[in-house]
Amino acid sequence: MKRRAVITGLGMVTPLGIGKEETWRNLIAGKSGIEKISRLSPEEVSVTIGGEVKDFKANHFIKDRKALKLSFHSVHLAIAAAKLAVDDAEVKVEEINPTRFGCFIGSGGGGYEDGPGFPDLVEPLQKSWSEEKGKFDPVKFGTNGITSTYPLFLLKTLPNNAFYYISLFYNIQGENDNIIASFTGGSQAIGDAARAIIRGATDIAIAGGYDSLLLPATLFSFNHLKLLSKNPNPEKACRPFDANRDGMVLSEGAGMVIIEEISYATKRGAHIYAEILGYGNSSSAHHLYEPCPSGSGINIALKKGLNDAGIEPSAIDYINADGIGTTLSDRAETYAIKNVFGSDAYQIPISSTKSMMGHLGTGAGAAELMICTLAMQENVLPPTINYEIPEPDCDLDYVPNQARSEEIHTALSINQGLGGQCTCLIIRKVS
């Protein structure tokens, strides 16, 4: 009998709420989680809006004081999302064979936290500066700078910290991966976890992604590339597919799912949300930060995902689009959807929940797949808010501004990132 991968636990921490219930409730109400960034001052950054996770207390989810000390805020979000997923799936870790328990994490990278670059290195670098040479002096660093360097600095910035702590806390000793990819890492992690289960390498896994893009260096870089919205109204700034869209809005968050082989899940009496039916992964091989105008990367990922699922395009009932809110990207994504789905593209409801959450970076793919899962469970389509003026090239059904009821059996999530990586995940209801 063919092995099948199913989702049994959902954990998300987003600008719209901590946990799936609060996030979903605010999503279907069309509420925006974009506000003025409270932890950064205008003196630090010129970009003042973003999607912050509010009222988050890391010590509510992490009892290990060393883990709190040796990891950054974004890692705390990941650990919290993993705990929420484990609790939601009612996983009893002590009953799992640890060598058959997997961990697949999409990471935003290391840590640039709470200041311009690495704050722990500011003093050491100042002590290592040579006025005479007008540059950093490695000899001075060796004699003066290194003594004031935080000794655990490198440990704090490891890009697999979330993977490590999640594996440690849940005694995960099986198949694993830590994917560092711009924005697509979370969905790639879920796709890889599902494939590991289907090929028999593991029975159960934690998979997902996390990120925080609300950091001075990140905000500066994206703003310099002219990728961010200039709209001063936070709630109206992210406008996917709207004719007046002018850029993306950066956010933070994490999404983790529990994935199990279906017979394993059934045997332990787990609630099954959905089956992961297909996964497509591709590269546009076009430009570092501009999408291919034809949407070729998404086109390839969609076709690969549908082929992996073994279904026709007409079987898709809902698409959660990448929909970041830039002129080029939204147009290219629409072209790709039309190319793959043909005339059916006009019949499929499509929404961009980034209009409410902003871009969660590497956490986006996992969070948005969970939104597909909840939409399918509740038979409710989340809206694309701020869609007011249609554009001729973006003329599909984007579920404008209000959620609506509709039966959903099969859903699809699209993600793409800088560097041209594109992913597609397809899920369906399990009878």
Q: Under a CB-based contact definition with an 8 Å cutoff, are residues 259 and 373 in contact?
A: no
pTM value? 0.94
Provide φ and ψ at 289, rounded to 5°.
-135, 0
DSSP, collapsed to helix, strand or coil, labels residue 1 as coil
6 Cβ neighbours under 8 A, 6+ residues apart = 259, 260, 261, 262, 265, 272, 273, 274, 275, 276, 430
Q: pLDDT digits over 93-139, tens only? A: 999 999 999 999 999 865 555 443 456 677 777 888 888 888 888 88
- Nearest alpha-carbon partner for 408 in 399, 420, 396, 417: 399
**Strand 350-351 to strand 318-320: parallel, antiparallel, or no bridges (unpaired)?**
parallel
CB count within 10 Å of CB 97 equals 11
State the span(s) of the chain assigned CATH 3.40.47.10: 5-113+157-428
**Exposure string for 174-194, b = 16+ CB within 10 A, e = fewer:** bbbbbbebbbbbbbbbbbbbb
CATH class of the domain at 5-113+157-428: alpha beta
**Selection from 391, 413, 408, 409 nearest residue 400 by Cα:** 391
Average pLDDT in the 311-328 region? 98
Q: What pLDDT is stored for residue 127 in this prediction? A: 82
CA 147 distance to own-chain centroid: 38
Instruction: Give the strand pairing for 101-107 and 176-180.
Output: parallel
Per-residue pLDDT reduced to its tens digit, 16-48: 999 999 999 999 999 999 999 998 877 667 888
- Within 92-246, strands assigned E span 101-107, 129-130, 135-136, 176-180, 204-212
154 CB-near residues (< 8 Å, 6+ apart): none
The predicted pLDDT at position 117 comes to 44
Residue pair 193/104 in contact (Cβ under 8 Å)? The answer is yes
Over 70: is that where the pLDDT of 384 sits?
A: yes
Tens digit of pLDDT for each residue in 45-95?
788 899 999 999 999 999 999 889 888 899 999 999 999 999 999 999 999
Averaged over 151-172, what is the pLDDT? 90
CA dist., res. 357 & res. 5, Å (int): 28
Using alpha carbons, select from 20, 8, 5, 88 the residue that is nearest to residue 273: 8
**How much is the pLDDT for 119?**
62
Kindly report which listed range (5-9, 48-52, 123-127, 394-398) carries the lowest average pLDDT score.
123-127
**Average pLDDT over the chain, rounded to an integer:** 93
- List pLDDT tens digits, range 255-306: 999 999 999 999 999 999 999 999 999 999 898 888 888 899 999 999 999 9
